[in-house]
Amino acid sequence: MVICCVLIFFIFPWIGTVFSESHEKPCEEDFSVKIDPYLPLRNGSVWDIRGATLYHNGTFWTEEEGGKSVVRGCPCLLTRPCLRKCCPMEEVANTEGQCVKEEGRKFFQLNISNDDGALIGTVDAKDRFGVIFGVVSECERKFHLEPESVPGDGYYLRASDGRLVMYERNITYGPYYFCYDFVPNFGDTRPFLCEPPFNIDRTAATIYPCFLLISAVFLLLTLLVYAIVPELRNLHGIIVMCHNFSLFLAFSFFSAIAFAGRGMPRGMCVASVIAAFFWLTVMCFDICKTFGGMRPTRVKCRNLKQDLKKFYQYSFFAWGSPTIILIVTVFMQFSPDLPDNVIRPDFGKVKCYFHSHESLAAYLYGPITTLLLMNIIMFIITSINIYKINKTTKEFMTEGSRRNAAPVFDYNKDREGHRTFGHWTLNKG
């Protein structure tokens, strides 16, 4: 009876104090551990008996689970860096990242290095890090690194902050993106990278690549028509062919990726899309220059050498510019000495594509938006030139002279080119 009174008047108030100050979650549940068994202390802290870790106020919370109060702690809010173990303590990971039982394994050892990558030694993880068990809820699948067989998979675990450094790719991961565990097939502990889920409508994911493939077929047919018909093999026709070829490559690769999965590299798709927009800009510039150079008092004649010279210049711009963007992107991806505020492409950090909206804007949407603005400006200039030419033509030519006199320039043909340019800009820009 006396013992019960002591529990009621002394022990329970401490537990009440602990619980009453822990209404809000100080960290995400993916970055917490269940503390069981635990010991509540007088100062409101909680002692994790199994993990031998002290959690102060603000580093844990309580919640109801199955009608019982459960205490969860936040290892990442403690003084030590946190590290994620892929599986529970009594389990290990196979090569597919699945957790399997292994009897008798009571430790979790791994190699740690200093900030320069020099090996410090092998330590027990719970003595050096705040260990979190399991992957984040958004992790769709895990894949292990194989530095002994896969180029670029070299890594080390930084002891100062628990981050994984892939030095060959110049990429650093926090505990959200990777976990460590022992892999019996390899006989050592190694990291698994996490691929987050992509919320995709399965019906749209099936229909979309089919339409892309159909578009690619019609683009190929358009290419064949321009290649076969002699009247279309002029400078404007060759520009249209180059633009169609770029779109054909982009649509074909995007369709292949959609059918084959995200494992395929997307670099060729990005380069093809950018090249298509550069050729669209070339088309706009050529039509704008044609109308801008027109005068109603002289005849415009096409010269094969001049057209070839123009085409070479256009090709240097339309193929060379995406190549320069590619070189800059590769440099920004692999250069180790860039400041932290520089936006990197971060290909492969989470998926085989740009990592963030900032990198997507800087290396893909930025150039495309610039080209579209240039196209709109040239469209406006061309429209103004057509209006001026039309007005001047009406002043200088009567209806009879239009029928009898030699044409000053092929106005209707060039105006049709302007309409085509507008349609291409709206539909494909």
Could you give the 3-state DSSP secondary structure of residue 157? strand
238-257 pLDDT tens trace: 888 888 888 888 777 777 76
Q: How confident is the model at residue 374 (pLDDT cuts 50, 70, 90)?
A: confident
CA–CA separation, 143 and 30 (whole Å): 19
48-82 pLDDT tens trace: 888 788 898 888 898 888 778 889 988 888 888 88
More confident: 371 or 105: 371
pLDDT at 418 over 80: no
- Let me know if 70 is exposed, middle or buried by CB neighbors in 10 A (0-12, 13-18, 19+): middle
CA–CA separation, 313 and 310 (whole Å): 5
Helix residue spans in 108-187 (DSSP H): 125-128
CATH number of 202-428: 1.20.1070.10
CA–CA separation, 185 and 82 (whole Å): 26
CATH number of 82-195: 2.170.180.11
CA–CA separation, 74 and 48 (whole Å): 11
CA–CA separation, 95 and 301 (whole Å): 69
Domain ranges of the chain: 22-77, 82-195, 202-428
91 within 8 A of 43, measured Cβ to Cβ:
no
Q: Identify the pLDDT of residue 35.
A: 86
Residue 239, number of CB atoms within 10 A of its CB: 23
Mean pLDDT in residue range 344-355 = 61
pLDDT at 194 over 70: yes
Q: How confident is the model at residue 8 (pLDDT cuts 50, 70, 90)?
A: very low
Q: What long-range pairs does 160-165 form, CB within 8 A, spacing at least 24?
A: 160/81, 160/114, 160/115, 161/81, 162/81, 162/82, 162/83, 162/129, 163/81, 164/191, 165/117
pLDDT at 408 over 70: no
pLDDT at 11 over 70: no
In sequence order, the β-bridge partners of residue 121 are 112
Q: Identify the pLDDT of residue 12.
A: 39
89-99 pLDDT tens trace: 788 888 888 88
Structural element, H or E, at residue 123:
strand 119-124
259-314 pLDDT tens trace: 665 444 545 556 666 776 777 777 777 777 776 654 444 444 556 677 788 888 88
Of 142, 133, 121, 151, residue with least CA distance to 191: 142
